[in-house]
Amino acid sequence: MTDTSAAAPHHSRKGLIIPFVIVAVGLVLWTGWWFFLTQQIEHRMEAKIAGLQQGGWTIEHAGISTTGWPMHARVTIKHLDVVAPSGHAIAAPEMIAQANAYNPTRWVLAAPDGLTVTRGEKGKTAIRAEGIRMSVHGLTQRWPNVALELEKPVFTALPDAEPFPVKQARLVQFYMRPHLVGSDTPTDDVDVLFRLVDGEGRPNGPVEGFTQSGMLNAQIEAVIEKASALRKGADAKGLLTAWTAAGGRFIDVKGQLQAGESKAFVSSDALSADAKGRLEGQVFVRAEKPLAAIVGLAGAQQGGALDRAAAARAAAATPQGGTGDAGQGVELAILFRGGRTYLGPFALAPAPQLF
């Protein structure tokens, strides 16, 4: 007869414990890396802030905190206020920057409670939007890739500030990337692209007049020469004075504008800025129905009476294109010179100010 009272063989539980030990060790190592990473981020931010302050910038905030463990590094800055030596500034109740902890070379920034932008002597403009986001990646490159997006922004000039040209828009986008020669050789230049979708001008302003109370849509791209001069920062004269003094220009400019019934394709070989930041150079335009936009500009309450009278004379002297392909045959040349905008011999308005 078989003896069933013998003890059953004992199975080791090491096979069950080892995976948990591996996970625990990995978690400890990852947590150590996360704390090291966030400390490095905070130290570099403090060093960057100190460097800017030594250069004449004023940077104030109500505290920096880092969260996001285990997979993200999320930096939150409360009541951030950054003022350049030129008087231009940006302020936000809260600014959030986030990156993946395993690949901290791509950052996404957001201002969930909006921004307040100070345009130097022009005063402050509040920006509220359904989304204000910026992404930055390629930080190891000479120039990073930058994408900024404002979703349904509303622009409000604060008391004692000059009116902002645009009241609101459906979308505003700005992109920047390194300019390459050939397929992969970086230069000291950067490519930029600006898009405005369904922009609405402020009441009685130049954009409203130009669009005949309709919507302005624009897409402009260009190459910024000698972009490294932008890293010299701002001084009391403006944001781009060092770049301008170094001979910086916008080259290979091209784009498309649509204002109400008027449509135009624009191009310029080179544009620059004068010492006051006013645009200088010549822009060539192939337009469809340009008369309506010029008449609207003539009636806009911007500039002095001389501006409106000049715009009216320019409208009278401008040929009106037809429709379809024939409508795009009207060719115009707009000249920015001496702080003014000229259409032929007529000074329409002040030249756009870059800084």
Over residues 181-231, the pLDDT tens digits come to 766 677 889 999 999 999 998 877 767 666 666 788 999 999 999 888 877
pLDDT at 83 over 60: yes
Q: At what angle do helices 290-299 and 305-317 cross, to 10 degrees?
A: 160
DSSP 213-227: TS-EEEEEEEEETTG
Rounded mean pLDDT of 49-53? 88
* 3 state DSSP class of 216: strand
pLDDT band at 58 (very low <50, low <70, confident <90, very high): very high
pLDDT band at 327 (very low <50, low <70, confident <90, very high): very low
* 56 Cβ contact list (under 8 Å, min separation 6): 84, 85, 235
Average pLDDT, the chain: 81
Q: Which of 47-61, 172-186, 285-299 has the lowest mean pLDDT?
A: 285-299
Q: Classify residue 2 as left (phi > 0), alpha (psi -120 to 50) or beta.
A: beta
* 3 state DSSP class of 19: helix
pLDDT band at 286 (very low <50, low <70, confident <90, very high): confident
Q: Which range among 42-56, 157-171, 196-210, 316-330 has the greatest average pLDDT?
A: 157-171
Closest CA to 149 of 105, 183, 117, 197: 197
- The answer to whether residues 239 and 311 touch, using CB atoms and an 8 Å cutoff, is no
More confident site: 225 or 30: 225
